[in-house]
Amino acid sequence: MAYKIITSQCTGCGACEFECPNAAIAFKRDTFVVNPKLCNECVGHFDLPQCNEVCPVPKTCVPDPAHPAGGDD
């Protein structure tokens, strides 16, 4: 499942963009967004999704049910 960022809670700090091993996160129209085509929940890179690990606001980087497959699937 790809991750998404809950925009209303995002502080815009960009730590997730810095940590993402897939370069799936970018700053677009005043907020950070995850490209579901590139996000694979960090599988093969790290044990846990880096965006959620580093995000300062709880429950802001979360799995996105709209993109259950994620990655290249």
Partner 1 sequence: MSAPVIPLESLRVSRAKAAPSACGGCGPSAEADSLPPEIWAKVKDHPCYAEGAHAFFARMHVAVAPACNIQCNYCNRKYDCANESRPGVVSERLTPEAAAAKVVAVARAVPELAVVGIAGPGDAVYDWARTKTTFALVRERLPELTLCLSSNGLAMLEHVDDIAELGIGHVTLTINAIDPAIGAQIYPWIFHQHRRWTGEDAARILLARQVAALEALVARDILVKVNSVLIPGVNDQHLPAVNAFVKAKGAFLHNVMPLISAPEHGTAFGLQGVRGPTAQELAAVQDACGGGARLMRHCRQCRADAIGLLGADRPPDFAGEPETADAPFDHQAREDYRCWVEVERADREAAAAEAALATRTVAAPALKIAVCTKGGGRVNQHFGQATELTIVEVDQAGVRRVGHRRIDNHCVGCTGTEAQLDAAIAVLTDVPIVLCAKIGPVPRRALEAAGLIIIEDDTAPYVETAAAQIYRDHLAGRDAATG
Residue numbers at the binding site for partner 1 (CB under 8 A): 11-15, 18-19, 46-48, 50, 53-54, 56-57
Beta carbon of residue 39, minimum distance to partner 1 (angstroms, whole number) = 16
By C-beta, is 38 or 54 nearer to partner 1? 54
Structure tokens at 62: 């979360």
By C-beta, is 30 or 73 nearer to partner 1? 30
Looking at the chain, which runs of residues are DSSP E strands?
Answer: 3-5, 25-28, 31-34, 61-63
| 65 close to 1: Cβ distance less than 8 angstroms | yes
Beta carbon of residue 11, minimum distance to partner 1 (angstroms, whole number) = 5
